[in-house]
Structure 1
Amino acid sequence: MVDNKKCFVCGSNASVQLVMDPVKYFYDCPVCGRYEYYVMFAELTEFNLNHLGAYLAYNGFKHNFNEYRYFTTMSKEQCDEYKKEFKNGNISHGHPVRLENENVENWYPKSFAEKVDYILLYLNSKNPYWGESIILEKEEMISCLFVDRYELKNGKWERRADEALLNQAYYMLRCLAEQKFIELPGTWNGSEYNRPIILTPTGYARIDMLQKNSSNGKNVLVAMKFGEDTKILREAIRQGIHEAGYIAILIDEVEHNDFITPELLKYIRDSKFVVVDLSHQNNGAYFEEGYAMGLGKPVIQLCKKDVRLHFDIAQKNTIIWETEEEIPERLKNRIKATID
């Protein structure tokens, strides 16, 4: 049964489906996208809801008839099972992407200046035509401007008063206007939402610079063999990247509409560095490493002990591992020593 309710995270009107086994709600929110909320365990309450709201606005899986991905807090094992069914043609469960608190916190901007950059890129994505007005609905504006909807009281998240939210949103917009990144209507005094925002030439210049230098971000493309036999390896690599403060991008978990190779190359170009595991002599991993090196991207190379590397890269400093358990700590230390 599909019903219209409020989004658990942002409060927008959302399409909600109740599933009884186990008891969970499946949300399709215009701001946060598609995600599951398990009633029995209330896992989403373990997240910082202010950070989660922004994360979903920027990274959520929005409505698309050809796209079945959605965020979930179900176990990794259940996610893997549903993904296997999906690849075999059973789309009833869709394609789950595990939502983890460390992903949210690693992504969330650590500085005010970083928030400004994120906001400019978001505004640019909402309007393909230069000089035209951008109008955001209330909850979308709150999320994309990194406004704190909630405050934690006695261990529970409680929504702040609308006036406080509006004041914070207007403060951020005024900061953008004072830096001449956007124009606000002269009659707007911050007393209401849904007012037009226009990116200025200075704003577009900043956006151009950010897009050209997107390697300053936190995404890290992982090149390796994907399959049942590498599940432990991929999670070990993901953990090491996360513990170093970055976000692991595994292409089979990413929403995309293009053919896999162009999308993969885009993520390599946009990554700050690339992590490659060559333990399985995977031709794709070699290709992705070569492409990254050609772009001048730092590459951290891993390989299992006793696996012979191709002579072209055999001399490269490589993390040689014997068991997956040792990878997270060694990879984190290598990132901290060579990237940060």
Structure 2
Amino acid sequence: MAQPRAGDGFTYAGNKDGVVIATPDRALAVLNPADGAVRTRTPFPDGGFHGVHATATLGLAHVGERVLLAPLDTTSPPIALTVPPGSEVSTTGDAVLITAPGDTAMIADRDGTHGVPLPPGTHALAADGDTVIAATPAGPWWRARTTGAPPVQVTPTPPRPDARVRSVTAAGHDRVLVLWSGPESSTTTTALHDAKTGAVILAAQVPSTELTGAYLLWDGGPVAGFGPLVLDMRTGRHVVVPTFRAASIRGTTVFGHLRSGQSRTAVGVDTNDLQAPPRPLGPSTPLPWADAKGRALVGDLDTDGVFRIYALDPA
């Protein structure tokens, strides 16, 4: 899903079915992306605010030792779940993953939390359905389920016979992203693997210096971004855009910035024409961060100093 954003007291996330906002007066609000109307509004419990997230069906806020879950379709009321101190929340997969200190993870849904014991020494990366994908930094990974069945180990297939795992970096939507050595000393082979079999789905060579601080940007849809790497998940085609840093996705376009020293140029990379140069968006143009029923969700600070979220028609 879109990475959470922040501005002037708001923190927000969302997708085509709903916008989730942590308001300045400490409440979780779910908005209708078609007209901005507030669907539900739930006051925060006591405690420090950790962030908001959204899956395909749920908006959530992590506050203190509670996680508020608000269905985007409002067919059921928001609920509050208690989580252990020091927990972290992730929505990089299909489901809400809560990791607690120690070898324990939980999947949260409208029915509560479901514990998933992890193999010792592993770290949970994502949750898909009833399964948590957990890994050690250099692989392999395990698929641990809420059913209580023993975790299943998965060893990734190397993209080349001489490739070595540098790090198991991200997961979700039945895929695992692994960074491999080479084939040259200055490059990293970035490979997406099938989470169940370890098979290579696609692989690309990326300059290692371009990957510092990169994170996988993918909501299970047709396109993905990882630092300078733009991926068409439908065909496996990809392109490495020098100095580009992927930041958001809308439709079949990956948005981000070209970097030169301290300057940043907002651009879009269209996966329907990966050979075309990135399209500049113009000075001070905010990046679209999600789709809202055919419209682009954009957040920006207006000239009057008020932070607003807009749903813009493509024109």
Tell me the TM-score normalised to structure 1 length: 0.24
TM (normalized to structure 2)?
Answer: 0.26
Name the one with the larger helix percent. 1
Q: Which has the higher strand share?
A: 2
